[in-house]
Amino acid sequence: MKKGKGMKFVGDSRIPADKQKFIPKDYSEYPGRTEAFWPNFLLKEWLVGAVFLVGFLCLTVAHPAPLEKLADPTDTAYLPLPDWYFLFLYQLLKYKFASGAFFVLGAIIIPGLAFGALFLAPFLDRGEERRPHKRPVTTSLMLLGFIAVFWLTYEAAAHVDWEAKAENNKPELPSSVEIDTSHPGYAAYENSCLQCHGGELEGGPAAPTLIGVEYGVDEIKDIAVNGIGQMPADQFQGTEEELQQLAEFIVSVNEQE
């Protein structure tokens, strides 16, 4: 390896003035204190990685991955949105100059130019200077692009009521149980429970679903008479025999699962 002595460098970079085939420099030729990658530096990287992983796991525990309702193509009220890192493109296509007759401009030409320029950056910015302030055109174009993407993303996200959207699209398991309306307990259910707990036991605004409850016959009888939680007492009207049939009916539906 040749040492740095007598070599001429161009500008602030470490490119030698006389052209020659690129031969990587030995790291020991860099000025200052070098450190062995193995094992010294790798151990530090490992520690940074561990701290990062802990933070990342905290994020996943604090915010479980969202899941919405099963896809329903007939849901015309649904506001379609892409993942956040595509929001800028989605927003761009909303503007008049980039949609309708100008769709090709918004969908192909503008992003194509931006990403094409990014891809070909080394051939567009050919100077030997590396410091950002010594190549103002390149730096300002990148800053402009960055601000544009940031602004478009903000514009797209700021007008969405994310909480209401999540609330309206909570996941719920589609009911797979069949309600046997000929069951002797169904008539009692219809009289006393259906109004709040729904025709398919699916629950409603005032009462939870009865599918997936883990109560036995006696417990259900007790709840129907005495209430539980927010459910008031004396909801059941009928005879002791009907109460027994009702409880058996609810248990039988739950046994189907």
Partner 1 sequence: MLQRMYDWIDERVDITPLWRDIADHEVPEHVNPAHHFSAFVYCFGGLTFFVTVIQVLSGMFLTMYYVPDIENAWRSVYYLQTEVAHGQIVRGMHHWGASVVIVMLFLHTLRVFFQGAYKKPRELNWMVGVLIFFVMLALGLTGYLLPWDNKAYFATVVTLQIAEGVPLIGEMAKTLLNGDPSIVGAQTLARFFAIHVFFLPAALFVLMGIHFIMIRKQGISGPL
Residues 4-33 that bind partner 1 (CB under 8 A): 12-15, 22, 24-25, 27-28, 30-33
Nearer to partner 1, 128 or 180 (CB): 128
Nearer to partner 1, 2 or 25 (CB): 25
Question: How near is the Cβ of 33 to partner 1 at its closest, in Å?
Answer: 5
Contact 192, 236 (CB under 8 A): yes
Pairwise CA distance, residues 146 & 247, whole Å: 63
- Is there binding between residue 90 and partner 1 (CB under 8 A)? yes
The SS3 assignment for 221 reads helix
Contact 25, 14 (CB under 8 A): yes
- Is there binding between residue 70 and partner 1 (CB under 8 A)? yes
Contact 208, 198 (CB under 8 A): no
Which 115-134 positions form the footprint of partner 1 (CB under 8 A)? Answer: 115, 118-123, 125, 128-132
Nearer to partner 1, 68 or 161 (CB): 68
- Is there binding between residue 94 and partner 1 (CB under 8 A)? no
Pairwise CA distance, residues 247 & 241, whole Å: 10
Here the tokens at position 34 are: 């070098």
Which 35-64 positions form the footprint of partner 1 (CB under 8 A)? Answer: 35-38, 41-42, 44-45, 48-49, 52-53, 56-57, 59-61, 63-64
Which 178-207 positions form the footprint of partner 1 (CB under 8 A)? Answer: none
Strand partners, 228: 231
Binding segment for partner 1 among 77-85, 183-191, 204-212, 229-237 (CB under 8 A)?
77-85
Contact 201, 253 (CB under 8 A): yes
Hunting for tokens 């039988």 — which residue is that? 252
Find the farthest-apart pair of alpha carbons in the chain and give their distance in angstroms, rounded.
107
- Is there binding between residue 97 and partner 1 (CB under 8 A)? no
- Is there binding between residue 147 and partner 1 (CB under 8 A)? no
Question: How near is the Cβ of 193 to partner 1 at its closest, in Å?
Answer: 26
Candidates 4, 7, 54, 82: give the one binding partner 1 (CB under 8 A): 82
- Is there binding between residue 107 and partner 1 (CB under 8 A)? yes
Contact 90, 80 (CB under 8 A): no
Question: How near is the Cβ of 73 to partner 1 at its closest, in Å?
Answer: 7
Contact 155, 235 (CB under 8 A): no
Contact 153, 84 (CB under 8 A): yes
